[in-house]
Amino acid sequence: MNKSESKYFNTAIKMDKALISLLERKSFEYITISEICREAHVNRSTFYLHYENTCELLNEAMQYILNSFLSYFTVDIQNFSHSKLSQLNYITEDYLNPYLSFIKENRRIFLTAISNSKEFGFEKIFAKMHQNIFDPILERFHYPTEDRKYVMRYYLSGINAVVNEWIKDDCKKSISNISQIIQECIFGLNGEFTITDNK
């Protein structure tokens, strides 16, 4: 990346962060380009070098949050059709700890994204994840097709409820402690519920 590309990239990040910060205080439809520029300490002409409108910036801010989130993971998603069932358990420390680390270190961004889920298009993201990740996994566990969206909502809502309580407590409990609580909620206190491998 050359100097001008680096400057362009840094300015874009400033504006992503400015929009996220403004979304903590007001609804997206009431945020103006002038406010974004003030918050990011750039002028309007700089804004228009990057974007045509605030919707374009919102899309980029969503991508910024997703990229930040994914950068915490070092494990790869398995090949769903050929993995053993035991390898399809994503309620483990390998997956929960990076997720919880991101939340702890980016509480404001996480809460802003959740409270503005409609603007960030999280339903579309969920639909994509359901199609490409959750559905193939649940198929391997022989869940009926029509039940799968309910099953995933149950798991995700439960995990988010634990995370929200953790945030309310200012993330005082350790990441490993919260990870353990989530696993105990799903698998039982002593892990009585176990995955049996058919492969």
Residues 120 and 181 in one domain: yes
Strand intervals (E) in the chain: none
- Indicate the DSSP class of residue 94: H
Same domain assignment for residues 20 and 106: no
pLDDT at position 78: 57
Q: What does the buried/exposed string (b/e) look like for 132-171 if buried means 16 or more CB atoms within 10 Å of the residue's CB? A: eebbbbbebeebeeeebeeebeeeeeebeeebeebeeeeb
- pLDDT by residue (tens digit) across 37-81? 999 999 999 999 999 999 999 999 988 888 888 888 876 655 666
Assess if residue 60 is contained within a domain: no
Claim to verify: residue 77 and residue 123 sit in the same structural domain? yes
The predicted pLDDT at position 3 comes to 45
Q: With beta carbons less than 8 A apart as the criterion, state whether 46 and 37 touch.
A: yes
C-alpha 24/C-alpha 137 separation (Å) is: 35
Number of domains in the chain: 2
Q: Which two tokens stand for residue 29?
A: 């439809």
> For the CA atoms of 179, 181, 186, 187, what is the dihedral angle to 10 degrees?
90
Q: Which residues of the chain have pLDDT under 70?
A: 1-6, 75-81, 191-199
pTM: 0.77
Please tell me whether residues 25 and 97 are part of one structural domain.
Answer: no
User: Is residue 197 one of the residues assigned to a domain?
Assistant: no
Query: Do residues 138 and 170 both lie within one domain?
Result: yes
Instruction: Tell me what pLDDT residue 162 has.
Output: 96
Report which of 183, 74, 64 is spatially closest to residue 175, judged by C-alpha positions: 183
Q: What is the pLDDT of residue 20?
A: 94
- 30 found inside a domain: yes
pLDDT attached to residue 1 = 47
Shared domain check, 141 and 100: yes
Domain that holds residue 42: 3-53
